[in-house]
Structures are given as structure tokens and as C-alpha cells.
Structure 1
């Protein structure tokens, strides 16, 4: 909740507080839980939740508990980095998955975090914390480092101002080190993030560009850290990223052959 004594919450604030009460860990909430997590009176929660159910933004299960409704998914799919980006990317993500049979991810930057808009995972793939619609701090992920490296300076400075959350002993926790990593990513055209979210996994990520040649997304493959040379994955990840970029209308680098 982002309210203050100077500006009491509006009806829109209250509705957004209700929707924001749901998380991946708590996708199902009773009325009292919803009231408590949203910080709203029970009577207000009951009234607003009822209206959201009527509009399809929330649904009630057989026990009376609330869940997010499909109508919100329909609205979310209209976001700038929604259906068009995912549809353009899917053939290349599928090819990358077939080549690795590991986790393949597509993400976009939202302030200091990355949001995962698509993921393909096999039964035997290494465990990852990500999910479609999930978020992670940008500095600690391969896709996030790619996106930060090509983000405006003010966006980079917001992250560098920290704090930089650490997940493992390998997570970047120093602004100085993060600056160096971002410079390396800009120079090399890819990022390797080894054990920064979970020690058992590493990722190789590359940028996706649009028709204006701006980096609008990043893709990555996440594989077991043990016994993997991440450099062997770089060509495949970069090729997939370039393929998505061409579909989005990005100009080809000088000398790059046409695929058709």
C-alpha cells in the first residue's frame, strides 16, 4: 500500500490493494485474509470484492475463498510487452528448448525488476524460481543484467543506488561490481549469471531488439551449473535473440546474411 496521511486512499487505491494482496505464494485468500492483507475494513473488502467478482476480476471457489479471475489475464495480455512479443518469440524459444531441454525464458524490465512473460521448461530441467508473471531483482539475473546494460542511465542508477538483494554468496551485491558487469554485457552482447539466484543453476542471456533497435526484452536459457561450460550456449542463445529481433523489425547488423 502506498498511502499517506496527506492523501487518503481512493476507491481505485483500495481496489488495487485488494488485487495486490494476491501473490504466487498466496493465490487463494479468504475474505478475512484479503481484508487483512489489503489493510481494509472487512465491510469494505466484502463490498469491493463482490464487485470484482461480478466483473470477472476475481472468482470464488467452492469454499468461498477468492482467486484472481481470467478477466485480469485478458487485460494484462494487452500490455506493450504482452501477446505480440510472446507470439514473435515462441518459435525461437521452442527451438532453443529443443536444443537444450532446459529452462528457456523471455523477460522484460520493470523499474528495478524483471518480469518473466514466457517460460518453457522440461521435466528434467534444473529447478528455477521463475514463473510466467513472476518477478526477480534485475541485478541478480542474466536477463536482468542484459536489460539493465541497455537501459537508460537513470534506470541503471536507480538499481545501483540499491540495496542490491543477495540470494547466494555469488549474487552481485556491490554497485561497483555491477557497473563492471553491465559494461561487459554491453561489450560482449550477452550475460552469464552463475549461481546468483540458486547455486545449482546458471543462465546465459541475450538482448531482443525492436524496429527502433532498442532492447525491449531478453531471453535466457537456465542450465545446471555443475559440469556446464556456459560459453558453449552463447551462440544458440544469441541466434535465438537475433531471430526474435528480426521478427520485431530490428535492423540486421552489417554483413549479417538474410535467413529467407
Structure 2
């Protein structure tokens, strides 16, 4: 009977300890969020956390001991080297195809159209994945195909952060090859609009009677690392539907980008002209 009573008495203590541990963990994670934009002094960090200075100092020191925070004299607390290590390891483990697959499957089911995933490789759009649509539309693409950047929606989405100098060079190279003929002035005007909209269209430029809506996927730094496109026959892709579908495509890439560590508002790094 004594043993049972002892066990009963210990259970609230153990539960209380678990709650306190969870609370401390959440506070630590909150503190990392509070210093994400740069050094924060103790008084300001305490105010942001809603904790006393002594509690904030104690929690910050624990994070410093583990390398999650660092302290700069006269400036304050900022993210520590351990997060750089974890970020590097996480980026190396991130497989964009695996991460994006459930998202693009959902988009394909919702749109009933074919969804492609691709990335930039040797100034071509490399198709990494394809989810077939439900409509009786044959999209002549295969995983592993390489398509021109300037004539495909997916390719144009991969170029949205590039300079006009890079656009012109790639456009001329595509035109010198087997890309469909196009007028650069008209193409450039559309590309500027695509940059503002954050997505790109293929208006039967790459394949007759096939249209698509595409948008870029970004990593934690904001850089474009891949893109997705939704493709279908022109009869299912009038101008109004392409505009409405843009919201679904942009929402999907935002989710995939979030899975890769991107947060809204992160400005993409300036991409120098590629030669």
C-alpha cells in the first residue's frame, strides 16, 4: 500500500516536470525567433519575450552554452554557430523532389491537369518529376527531359531572378538552337510582367495548343532552386482560368518553399549576370 501511495504522489511531480520542460523548450525556440533579424540587447529581448531580465538572461546563457545564441558586447544577442551547422546539414538533406511530391500531387488532383517539377541545369529546364492530369490531354514530356528556358513556363519561372543581360544571352542562344521562333521585345515585355506577378505563363510557345502556369520554388535564402508548372490543352486554359490557376500554383510553391525553410518577405539574393 505504501508503494502504491508513493507512486501516486510521484505522478503529479513527474507531470509538472514535463510541463516545465516543455515550457522552457518553447521559450528557447521563441527566443531564437526574437533575435532572427539581428543583435538584440537584453532589455529589448526581455520586453519581446515578456519575461524578467534575470529569466531572459538565464535562458539566453543556456542557449549560448549550446551554441544556439552568441553575445556581442555593446550589441546584444544574435543567432549562434550551431544554427549555421544545422542549417547546412538540413539543406544538404533536403530533397526537393521528395519534399515537393505530396504538394504537387495535391495540385494535380485539384486542377485535374499535369504538374511538372524542374530545376535549372546547364541553362536548360531539367524535368525532375511529373504528375499526370485526369483530362484526356497528352503532354509530351518525360522525367529527365531538358527543355528551353525561354519558351517553357517552367523555364521562365526559373529565370525570374536573373538580369536582363542574362535573359538576352539565353534567349539568343535558344533562338540559335531549336527553340521555337520568338520576338525578343515581346518576350522581354512579358517577362517583366511575370517578375511582378511572381509567376510565368507558356502561351503555346513551346508546344502547339498547350498552355501552362509556372512559379518558382525558393530555399531558405530566397534563391530559386526549382519551379513547378501546371500544363493542359488550350481549351482548358483560357486567359481567365490561367489567372485563377496562378493563385493555386503560387500557393503550392509557397508551401514547398516553406518546407525548404523559406519565409515570406525574405528578399532573394541578387543573381549576377551568368555568362
Contact 1:194 1:203 in 2 (8 A): yes
TM-score in terms of structure 2 length: 0.57
- Name the CA distance, whole Å, in 2 between partners of 1:155 and 1:82: 30
Per the alignment, in what secondary structure is the counterpart of residue 150 of structure 2? helix
Aligned to 2:126: 115
Q: Give the CA deviation at 1:102.
A: 1.4
TM-score in terms of structure 1 length: 0.60
Per the alignment, in what secondary structure is the counterpart of residue 223 of structure 1? strand
Note closer, same or farther for the CA distance 1:134–1:111 as it changes in structure 2 (3 Å cut): same
Matches within 5 A, 1:146-157: 146-151=157-162, 155-157=166-168
Q: Give the CA deviation at 1:201.
A: 1.3
Matches within 5 A, 1:184-195: 184-195=193-204
- Name the CA distance, whole Å, in 1 between partners of 2:108 and 2:120: 22
Contact 1:103 1:125 in 2 (8 A): no
Note closer, same or farther for the CA distance 1:240–1:138 as it changes in structure 2 (3 Å cut): same
Q: Give the CA deviation at 1:197.
A: 2.0
1:205 aligns with 2:214: yes
Matches within 5 A, 1:1-260: 84-122=95-133, 124-151=135-162, 155-164=166-175, 171=180, 173-228=182-237, 229-253=241-265
Q: Give the CA deviation at 1:125.
A: 4.6
Q: Give the CA deviation at 1:187.
A: 0.7
Structure 2 gap segments, 5+ residues each: 1-90, 267-275
| Structure 1 runs, 4 residues or longer, greater than 6 Å off | 80-83
Q: Give the CA deviation at 1:139.
A: 0.6
Per the alignment, in what secondary structure is the counterpart of residue 151 of structure 1? coil
Note closer, same or farther for the CA distance 1:172–1:204 as it changes in structure 2 (3 Å cut): farther
- Name the CA distance, whole Å, in 2 between partners of 1:138 and 1:104: 17
- Name the CA distance, whole Å, in 1 between partners of 2:192 and 2:106: 29
Contact 2:139 2:232 in 1 (8 A): no
Structure of greater Rg: 2
- Name the CA distance, whole Å, in 2 between partners of 1:116 and 1:198: 16
- Name the CA distance, whole Å, in 1 between partners of 2:243 and 2:135: 22
The number of equivalent residue pairs is 172
Q: Give the CA deviation at 1:112.
A: 2.9
Structure 1 gap segments, 5+ residues each: 1-79, 255-260
